[in-house]
Structure 1
Amino acid sequence: MKHRQEACKASAVLFPLLLLSSFAVVASAQPVTAARLWQGIPGLERTSQGRVFVSWFSGGPQEPAPENTVYLCYSDDQGQTFTDPVEMAGPRGTSRTFDPTLWHDPDGRLWYIYNRGDRELAEHGVYARTCADPDATPLVWSDEFRVGFDEAPQSFRVNKPTVLSTGQWLMPVTHVAEPVHDWFAGPKQVQGVGISADSGRTWSLHGAVEAPHWALENMIIELRDGRLWMLIRTGSGVLWQSHSSDGGRTWTAGTATTLASPGSRFFIRRLASGNLLLVNHFKFTGRSHLTAQLSTDDGQTWNAGLLLDERGGVSYPDGVQDASGLIWIVYDRDRQGAGEILLATFHEEDVAAGTNVSGQVRLRHIVNKLK
């Protein structure tokens, strides 16, 4: 029997839309290859004019580490070549930066969203920088600001916000009610959403969905019947889920889905056609067989899909669909070895057929690598 969980509400802080100071990120900035011994956890966004941005993080000997730093590069030739990566935010005191993602909001701004965590001070929060004109050269970014949730300061996220049919913005959030002197909270983590009704000026935190150990990296879809569907990464072998019928303010108890998972990030988005796209591991051994799958019945069933990369050590997809219908997916491979950030592009018809029927499928294209 389903039961409602009371919303975990937090007053939000105001972020300054008109920041007095900013700086330019220039494509010719010094490369940071020498400082990267590993890399992964990418994000991707594409502007309406065609510039493709990719983010990821690195720094230190591994993830997590106090030296973790978030980076950004971009392409102006449809992803054929990318600029050298530049640092967007780095360690401050004893805090690290990690899990960056990119999001082009309805107002035209590009958000560079990431987490800042300090296990010594037990402080973990969501931060961002914004760019009003992401097609400009040079790029001008706001200063770093914190994204709300003051009454629940132990929070982080890794996936894009979702814009609802009401116009409200929902940011998937993992949070914990007590200070944690570690990189993550583990079994104490719960899943919720940050809701903004004023284009990101303020956010309120709602929901405390429980799921099996190592639950995090949730994503939100608005279903055709108006409910919200939250999918959650867990360590149980399958994704878990929760639903909301009031715009994300309250959520049902978490339950298991039949979608298998090796305990890794997935990506889900509604396509322009109205169908759902899921990029996940399918018929996998560990983090292998990254596959794009299609659902025409709002997530009740999924086809076998289009295999993007069958190799081991592939993970953490993120992506967008552009105005032409082309789907852009970024992911990583072999973080401690080759350190590849990889790009795949394809159309919905390719996912439906399970093969390259559009003639435009591009797989395993290297954005950046260590070796």
Structure 2
Amino acid sequence: MKTPRWRMLATIAWCSVAWLGSAVASEVPFLRGEFIRPPENLHNHGSCLVEAPNGDLIVCWFNGSGERTADDCRILGARLVRGATTWSPRFVMADTPGFPDTNCCLFIDPQQRLWLIWPTILDNHWESALLKVKIAESYQRPGAPEWKTQDVIHVKPGPEFAATVQRAVEKFRARAGEPKIKEFVDYALAASQDKLKSRLGWMTRAHPFVLDGRRLIVPLYSDGFNFSLMAITDDWGATWHTSTPLVGEGNVQPSIVRRRDGSLYTMMRDNGLPPQRIQQASSKDRGETWTDVTDSDLPDPGAGLEIIALANGHWVVINNDTEQGRHSLCVRLSDDEGRTWKWSRHLERDEPGADAGRYGYPSILQAKDGTLHATYSVQLRPSLAAKDAEGKPAHKTIRHVHFNEAWIRAGNR
């Protein structure tokens, strides 16, 4: 019997056996990967990954016909039991009847509760996103979590929101002759003074950030405003307030790390004009206010990314390392808190063109054993995609990879 093409792809494992002057297993570079489920024609996108206290991995993503045109998108999940090599059958994490649910994220709080935060899209436009949250205490067993609470996170930017936006966009007026800049300036100025537009449309993407075990910061962005905002709670969701907005030239989908000096640093997707670079900003007051948004040195084609700090203080960022296209997905390692990125290696890299695959929206974590796990969206190269029963390309899925820091240091082969 011929092995299905997706199964051959899903079981490909990269392994570089090189000793770095030690026989410690964690120092042997390795990379293993598999598809969480077989590719299909439906959209599978926007995954987020956590490690449960018992060592299981739990992932969520959204699945459906397309949130911009259909109402069947829902949040699905799967589990990789500790020690297993095959993911569980998928299960439903959230499904609002008659509305698309999208861009989900997971995290586990200091009380060991599992949180799912996601937006429900009210009219198939991202600007209508309504932010929701579920919390589970029982989730370390087969199947879907048992959600104990569900609520809406009402995002209400502070009274300084409109004034801050107005001051920030003034610097773009000199370039208002460029259509994309003019559209951004006009929308930001008008919408920032509109209560409904400033309170709807905020969405999650990367992991929330827990500060000092007491403060939860949920990085948000708006496709309407095309910039970012932080939702903050000091009582685990009983009340929320927001940071000042992070207003740049299309800086969205923030991801947060903490520096050794206690300040916070965020990297953001670049939805602006070329040359496109990962956007960045910092905060010295626990996320309440942020510096001006600037370009980093790293390219970004307008695609999701995530940055994490490792237990040894090193930083890892995972993103599409191009200015155009999602045919290449890279992990980089820094030993000086992002001032330089001395090591990099590709998880995926196709030649650009009609037969290139698409890889993106990564989620990454460091497990308790020190190794790294990541998930990301995959759209297979057309030449590798099989057909489903209806003759449509079965080419979209979520991939999980497991690797270590030594694998990044070893560089591309």
The whole-number CA distance in structure 2 between the counterparts of 1:61 and 1:54 is: 20
Indicate how the Cα distance of structure 1 residues 334 and 219 shifts in structure 2: closer, same or farther if over 3 A, else same. Answer: same
How far the C-alpha of 1:119 sits from its partner, in A, is: 2.7
Give the match's secondary structure for 1:99.
coil
Which structure 2 residues correspond to residues 250-265 of structure 1 after superposition, within 5 A? 250-265=289-304
Residues 1:66 and 2:113 aligned together: no
Please name the residue that 2:193 is paired with. Answer: none
SS at match of 2:407: helix
Name the structure 1 match of 2:94.
Answer: 89
1:150-173 residue CA offsets vs partner (Å, 9 max, x unmatched):
455212111111122373111101
Once the 2 structures are TM-superposed, how far is the Cα of residue 133 of structure 1 from its aligned partner?
Answer: 2.7
1:116-265 aligned at under 5 Å gives the runs 116-119=120-123, 123-137=128-142, 139-150=145-156, 152-154=198-200, 155-165=202-212, 167-175=214-222, 184-185=223-224, 188-213=225-250, 215-236=251-272, 237-265=276-304
SS in 2 for 1:239: strand
Which of 306, 310, 313 is residue 271 of structure 1 equivalent to?
310
Question: How far did 1:202 drift?
Answer: 2.3
5+ unaligned residues in a row in structure 1: which ranges? Answer: 1-31, 176-183, 357-371
Assess if the C-alpha contact under 8 Å between 2:54 and 2:82 holds in 1: no
2:24 aligned partner: none
Residue identity over aligned pairs, in percent, reads: 23
Structure-2 separation of matches of 1:60 and 1:42: 16
Aligned to 2:342: 303
| Residues 1:190 and 1:79: Cα distance change in structure 2 (over 3 Å) | farther
Of residues 81-90 and 271-280 in structure 1, the stretch that sits farther from structure 2 once superposed is 81-90
**1:258-288, Cα deviation, whole Å (9 max, x unpaired):** 1100110011000011110111123576112
2:300–2:324 CA contact under 8 A, matched in 1? no
Whether 2:81 is the aligned partner of 1:76: answer yes
2 CA distance for matches of 1:212 and 1:343? 32
Give TM-score, length-normalised by structure 2: 0.70
Greater Cα offset, 263-272 or 330-339: 330-339
**1:110 maps to what in 2?**
114
Partner amino acid for 2:296? T
Instruction: Select between 141-150 and 189-198 the one with higher mean Cα deviation.
Output: 141-150
- For residues 324-350 of structure 1, the C-alpha deviation after alignment (integer angstroms, 9 at most, x for no partner) is 101100011118741121111111222
For the pair 1:287 / 2:291, whether they are aligned, the reply is no
SS in 2 for 1:350: helix
CA-CA distance at 1:190 after TM superposition = 2.7
Pick aligned residue for 2:51 from 40, 46, 53: 46
**Structure-2 change in CA distance of 1:284 and 1:333 (3 Å):** farther
1:150 to 1:142, Cα distance in 2 relative to 1, 3 A: farther
TM-score where L is the length of structure 1: 0.77
Question: What runs of 5+ residues in structure 2 fail to find an aligned partner?
Answer: 1-36, 158-197, 351-356, 381-392
1:284-310 deviation line (CA, Å, top 9, x unaligned): 761122111111111111023222111
Q: Which residue of 1 aligns with 2:10?
A: none
Q: Residue 97 of structure 1: SS of its match in structure 2?
A: coil
Query: As a proportion of its length, which structure holds more strand?
Result: 1
Q: 1:34 to 1:310 in 2, by over 3 A?
A: closer
Distance 1:204 1:61, change over 3 A: closer
SS of corresponding position for 1:251: coil
CA distance in 2, matches of 1:342, 1:35: 13
SS state at 1:349 partner = helix
Q: Tell me, yes or no, if the aligned pair for 2:204 and 2:221 is still in contact at 8 Å.
A: yes
Question: RMSD of the alignment, in Å?
Answer: 2.6
Q: CA offset at residue 131 of structure 1?
A: 1.4
| Match runs of 1:315-354 below 5 Å | 315-334=360-379, 337-354=394-411
In structure 2, C-alpha distance between the alignment counterparts of 1:150 and 1:83, rounded to whole Å: 38
Provide Cα deviations, 1:154-201, integer angstroms capped at 9, x if missing partner. 1211111112237311110114xxxxxxxx41xx23311111212333
1:98-153 Cα deviation digits (max 9, x unpaired): 01122111110111221112137964222121211321345311343112324552
CA offsets, 1:227-249, max 9 Å, x none? 21121111231111111111111
In structure 2, C-alpha distance between the alignment counterparts of 1:247 and 1:143, rounded to whole Å: 27
* Cα distance in 2 between the residues matched to 1:62 and 1:128: 19
Larger radius of gyration: 2
Query: 2:318, 2:332 within 8 Å by CA — same for their partners in 1?
Result: yes
Could you say which residue in structure 2 is the equivalent of 1:361?
none
Q: Aligned with 1:248: secondary structure?
A: coil
**Structure with a larger share of its residues in helix:** 2
In structure 1, what is the equivalent of residue 185 of structure 2? none
Counterpart position of 2:13: none
Q: 2-side partners of 1:100 and 1:300: how far apart?
A: 30
Task: Quickly say closer, same or farther: Cα 1:193–1:137, change in 2 above 3 A.
Answer: same
